[in-house]
Amino acid sequence: MQSDEYLLAIDLGTTKVCAVIARVISGDDLEIIGIGTHPSEGMQNGAVVDLERTTRSIESAAQKALATAGVDYARAWIGIAAGFIQSYNSRGSVAVLQGQRGITKADIRAAMRAAVDLKIPPEMEVLHVIPRGFRVDDISGVRDPEGMVGNLLEIDVHLVCGRKNDIANIGRAAQAAGFRIEGVILQPIASSMSVLSQEEMDAGVAMVDIGGGTTDIAIYKDGHILQSRIVLVGGDLITKDLVSFLAAPVEHAETIKKNYGCAITAATDDAEVIEVQRIRPRPPHHIARSNINFVIECRVDQIIEQIRKTVLSVMSVDDLVAGVVLTGGSSLLGGLVEKVQRELGVGANLGIPGGVTGFTDIVKSPTCATAIGMLQYALKERKRVRAENGKIAQRVYKKTCDLLSRFF
């Protein structure tokens, strides 16, 4: 079996590594054929702090997915969300030398390079350059300038960058695990691909992926990404807050959060109490559920405030016509959707990944949004590269025919 028939997404989360493998069907569709997870070890805030342990985590999760699929190897894509990631909005412009012939892809690439060169510090590496819109001479709001006549081309882009050394360490861990990395994807961009519709991105929407270690935010309007941000606050901090408040083991605090946790304290019956297992040698005790949820709500308030700040950096919260789409494992916290609606004053709902077949009982969950989006992104890139290679082959063929025609 050819490895390019399969795509492997390796989602490097703070809590776990999730690997999902898909078969490419008829060039356009994805069928999930294998899933594997393993606790995330050797990483802190998304950065590698122990290369050997990170390698083992990646290898274990990926090999489980491959074994389930009955596949020996697949081209791998890595998804990251970390403290070393930075996003910028930038603008670049170029003079179109042969404007009367129409703007070419080369002109567009030159404008994009100009936008990148204005912003990127030397220690950073570009992960994504996402066009937000073009301007040709005095015409703004241009979505695709190729072929248009003009003298000056300007482009607005959203840049996603990461520290070179940190990205290199992730690449080394993946290679040591036995995988060739085809690309690195920012997790909120991947999640957006799997849970957002084009209508939502046109109207104005905030995609919020709340994981264990981070809350990943992407803001869209008029079909373009306006802002992305990684906030180093997630569900793990809620668990740590409960460990401190309850003096309970981590596993027990996590169970209480999942089974009894609610983001709205007022929705809890004050008379309800929960038995809490404490760290030995102290005996169990009973605590009002409302007190537990007060601790949870305080941390949720912090997350919502970061969502608000991210939105306000580019537009009014009222411009979120399509509201907030929540995804990620920690988005399943009780009362969270209603809490976001109350605090931000816009609609909110859970984002369920779609657009794939196979393992639907597992992948149709917010916990799989990033991995599914990574596969969709990888498929899109695969088709783009093949299309470009096809055009190059056509040009070579034409030049060869022109050359031969001179002699025959």
Report CA-CA distances (Å) from 174 to 51, 115, 170, 192, 231: 10, 31, 6, 24, 24
Q: Which residues contact 353 (CB under 8 A, 6 or more apart)?
A: 194, 195, 327, 363, 364, 365, 366, 368, 369, 372, 373
Question: Computed from CA positions of residues 100, 104, 108, 113, in that sequence, does the dihedral angle turn out positive or negative?
Answer: negative
Compute the half-sphere exposure of residue 304: CA atoms within 13 Å on the CB side of its CA.
22
What residues does 135 pair with on adjacent strands?
Answer: 154
- Percentage of the chain modeled with pLDDT above 70: 93
Give the number of residues written for the chain. Answer: 408
What CA–CA distance (Å, rounded) separates 68 from 34?
5
Which amino acid appears at position 385 of this protein?
Answer: V
Domains and CATH numbers, the chain: 85-163 (3.30.1490.110)
Q: Please give the model's pTM, rounded to 2 decimal places.
A: 0.90
Residue pLDDT, tens place only, 173-215: 999 999 989 999 999 999 999 999 999 999 999 999 999 999 9
280 or 217, which is more confident = 217
Each residue of 74-107: pLDDT tens digit? 889 999 999 999 999 999 999 998 767 899 999 9
Cα–Cα dist 361/96, whole Å: 52
For residue 281, the model assigns a pLDDT of 80
pLDDT of residue 295: 98
pLDDT at 400: 36
Output the pLDDT for position 407.
Answer: 37
Please write the tens of the pLDDT for every residue from 27-47.
788 999 999 999 999 998 889
Could you tell me which of 158, 287, 173, 269 has the C-alpha nearest to residue 224? 158
Beta bridge partners of 184: 78
